[in-house]
Amino acid sequence: RFQRSCGLFPAGEEGGGSGDPEEGPRDRGACNGAGALRCPAGGAGVRSGRGPQGCTQKYIVKNYFYYYLFKFSAALGEEIFYITFLPFTYWNIDHSVSRRMVIVWSIVMYIGQVSKDILKWPRPLSPPVVKLEMRTNAEYGMPSTHAMAATAISFSFFIATMDLYKYPFELGLVAAVVFSTLVCLSRLYTGMHTVLDVIGGALISAVLLVLLYPAWDTIDHLLLTSPFCPLFSIVVPLVLCYNYPKLDYYSPTRGDTTTILGAAAGATVGFWLNNQYAASAYAGKSAQPGFPVITSTMVLVLARFFVGIWVVLLTRWVMKNVVLSVLGYRYKFSLGDLAAQRRLEVEVPYKFVTYSSVGFTATVIVPLLHEVLGLL
């Protein structure tokens, strides 16, 4: 109903469904066997997506504003957002804000991902729902980790910056609410979650924020000063990844969880190393208002971001190929063998090492490069 009200209509329907329960949520969230949603001749604004069983969904976009708004909003809960916004915060806003966001994000996302595979609630049926995404279709639905991440990131950013910068409290609160609401609504529009999945995800994230907030300063202090921080930051996430709940079929939840915990582990080690051996960059700097100062500051901000994101993406590409090559040699598989990459002994070290390198690069290597280039 939500999709119809927003101008998104299936173009037609035929076929039945096998509904094999052993296939997990892939059947229940796809086109049910050989069925397809097709478009009548002459339909305008047609989009299509291929499901996990090879079936094709076609739909007619009646309202492009909602379509692109919620497609963009959905991306705010995915890797492309995490890998840009979290480093941007560290490079250009404040180290303490970035540290708290990474801590909250990793804890909230781990709990959300594990909850999916423990509860095993299916995603919405398709048909009648038209699904605009297929990558996460093999995952279970409850809770929505998009809703959890959006709530955690927006409100932790608001809370962490509230006492550091002078801006109206109401403005920050509205911005956090709008951001999280758009991401939550995008999961309904794209057909990936029910209303209960989204509400459950947002509420779980809110409860975790309330529980974590009193311990923020203590956790932050321990991560920066404890001599055991590097060992703890690597060992605990690895143990959690290797002991992730097992399913009867492959789901990307374990790989995504390993990616998140790996990135947080690398960043945490970087935080500790910077506090031990390097001066705190970016923090505590202020400038008097004025157009020339604002213009030069924006140039520096953009320069730091584009240099940093280029190095981060390069690190991800290099480490991915190096680690996969080493694991391929060890376990005798080719780089293009996706089935082999999904095995526990391959997926966990491959993603953990790759993304811990990304987190470490963003917090240690990139700031050093900024200093060398005179971008501080």
98-112, 247-261, 359-373, range with the lowest pLDDT: 247-261
| Residue 40 binned pLDDT confidence (cut-offs 50, 70, 90) | very low
Residue 311 has pLDDT above 60, yes or no: yes
End-to-end alpha carbon distance in the chain: 51
- For residue range 324-340, list pLDDT tens digits in order: 989 888 888 887 788 88
The amino acid present at 6, given as its one-letter code, is C
The confidence band for 261, taking pLDDT boundaries of 50, 70 and 90, is very high
Beta bridge partners of 37: 57
Segment 169-179 mean pLDDT: 89
Note if the pTM is more than 0.75: yes
Query: Each residue of 269-285: pLDDT tens digit?
Result: 999 998 887 654 444 44
Of 136-145, 183-192, 284-293, give the lowest mean pLDDT range: 284-293
Amino acid identity, residue 230?
A: P
Q: What are phi and psi of 290, to 5 degrees?
A: 155, 145
User: What is residue 289's three-state secondary structure?
Assistant: coil
Q: What's the pLDDT score for residue 7? A: 54
Residue 15 has pLDDT above 50, yes or no: no
Can you list the alpha helix ranges (DSSP code H) found in the chain?
2-5, 25-28, 64-75, 79-92, 95-119, 145-162, 169-189, 195-212, 216-225, 229-242, 253-277, 291-331, 338-341, 344-360, 366-373
Taking 50 as the threshold, does the pLDDT of residue 53 lie above it? no
Give the sheet arrangement for strand 56-61, strand by strand.
8-10, 56-61, 46-50
- What is the per-residue pLDDT for 278? 67
Residue found by looking up tokens 């989204």 in the block: 198
Q: Is the pLDDT of residue 18 over 60?
A: no
pLDDT over 50 (residue 32): no
Work out the mean pLDDT of the chain and round it to a whole number. 78
Over residues 91-100, the mean pLDDT reads 86
Q: By the 8 A CB rule, do 342 and 361 touch? A: no
pLDDT one-digit tens code per residue, 191-240 = 888 889 899 999 999 999 999 888 888 888 888 888 898 999 999 999 99
DSSP letter assigned to residue 32: -
Q: Higher confidence at residue 293 or residue 263?
A: 263
Tokens of 347: 């997926």
Geometric angle at alpha carbon 265, from 264 and 268, rounded to 5°: 80
The structural domains of the chain, with segments of one domain joined by +, span 1-10+58-213, 216-280+292-375
- Asked about 221 being catalytic, the answer comes back as no
The backbone torsions φ and ψ at residue 337, rounded to the nearest 5 degrees and listed phi first, read -85, 95
Band of pLDDT at residue 38, cut at 50, 70 and 90? very low
Active site residue 95: no
Say what the pLDDT of residue 139 is.
Answer: 76
Structure tokens at 281: 């960059």
> How big is the chain by its Cα radius of gyration, in Å?
22
Cβ neighbors of 21 (< 8 A, separation 6 or more) are 27
Binned at pLDDT 50, 70 and 90, residue 27 comes out as: very low
Q: Tell me the per-residue pLDDT of 60-81, one tens digit each, with 9 for 90 and over.
A: 878 788 888 888 888 887 878 8
pLDDT of residue 94 exceeding 60, the answer is yes
- What pLDDT shows up at residue 342? 84
For residue 206 the two structure tokens come to: 């809110």
pLDDT at 76: 81
**What was the pLDDT predicted at 309?**
92
Q: Which residue has the higher pLDDT, 109 or 8?
A: 109
Question: In this predicted structure, what is the pLDDT of residue 69?
Answer: 86
Report pLDDT for 13. 44
Could you tell me which residue, 13 or 257, shows the higher pLDDT? 257
